[in-house]
Amino acid sequence: MKHIIVPIDFSKESLNGLRLAIVFANKFDSNIQLVYVQQNPSELSRGGFEEEHKHAKNELEQLVTEYSVKLNDSSRLTYIIKKGKVYREVVNQAAAFEESIIICSTHGASGFEEFFIGSNAFRIISATDNPVITIRHGSMPRDIERIVMPIDVTSDTRQKVPITAEIAAAFGAEIHVLAVSTVKSEEVEAKLNAYSKQVCEYLKDRDIRFHLSSAKGGNLTDVTIEYALDVNADLVSIMTEQSLDISNFVLGSLAQQMLSKSPIPVLSITPKELFIMGSFKTFGTPY
């Protein structure tokens, strides 16, 4: 987490992404880069394009001045203005750095392009193999003390453990390992128990505090969010599932539900074997 990329549209909601990025940057000594993306010049008159660029630059410089003082001395806040498709340019900017993460709001609206960030958050997650933390309006944590990490019966579910553990170690947070399922069967129980045991041993070996629980329900998103609210969690860590439709990268329904419903910030991790040359295979349960 040496670099944190924050797409920005200057809305109140998108600024929550910057505020959350500062919380993480001060724990990991990370640099933050704000990314504002203009529409292609052909889509605007020349005068409109130049006006937008000037406005964005002024706003970005003000943000750098205002928020740099909130960072540790070892971290820097910079910005870049790009042009093109929002999600594509944000993803490309994250790929330009090693060990980068994206933090953004799932809501937002710009004076130049309505729902600038909000409409692109899902696409950003779908089109990158970098970790992404999303935050909704009104859910700004000052610290990360408890992290809920749902574990299911898919083999990919454990891929989120290392980065979740790294975050927990940096913040001194407790991880709530939540074994989740939609059905009750001996086979499911056995696999969940085996996976949960592996995860707990991993955390124990790294001296990370953890709590093991289980939950069942017809909708894993609702089950996870209900549990996270009950324990006052500050972050939920999930695997995402993606599919490629005719024209766009899209998130699977369960991941979209979590990002849309969760009042708690969500860390989304893409299963590595699914991200192949910019395209995706269908993936089942995300958690």
Average pLDDT, the chain: 84
pLDDT class of 1 with cuts at 50, 70, 90: confident
Domains 3-135 and 146-280 share a fold: yes
Structure tokens given for 142: 């000052």
Question: What is the separation of C-alpha 112 from the centre of its chain, rounded to a whole number of angstroms?
Answer: 25
| Domain range 146-280, CATH architecture | 3-Layer(aba) Sandwich (3.40)
Give the C-alpha separation, 286 to 254, whole Å.
Answer: 7
pLDDT tens digits for range 214-268: 998 888 889 999 999 999 999 999 988 655 443 444 555 677 788 888 899 999 9
Q: What is the pTM of this model?
A: 0.86
Place of tokens 């995860």: 199
Domain positions in the chain are 3-135, 146-280
**CB-CB contact of 97 with 52 (8 Å):** no
Output the pLDDT for position 179: 93
How many C-beta atoms surround the C-beta of residue 111 within 10 A?
12
Give the C-alpha separation, 249 to 124, whole Å.
Answer: 9
What number does CATH give the domain 3-135? Answer: 3.40.50.620
DSSP state of 99: S
Structure tokens given for 184: 């009750």
pLDDT tens digits for range 148-200: 999 988 878 889 999 999 999 999 999 999 999 888 888 888 999 999 999 99
Structure tokens given for 193: 């128990």
Tell me if residue 213 falls in helix, strand or coil.
Answer: strand
How many C-beta atoms surround the C-beta of residue 102 within 10 A?
26
**CB-CB contact of 132 with 268 (8 Å):** yes
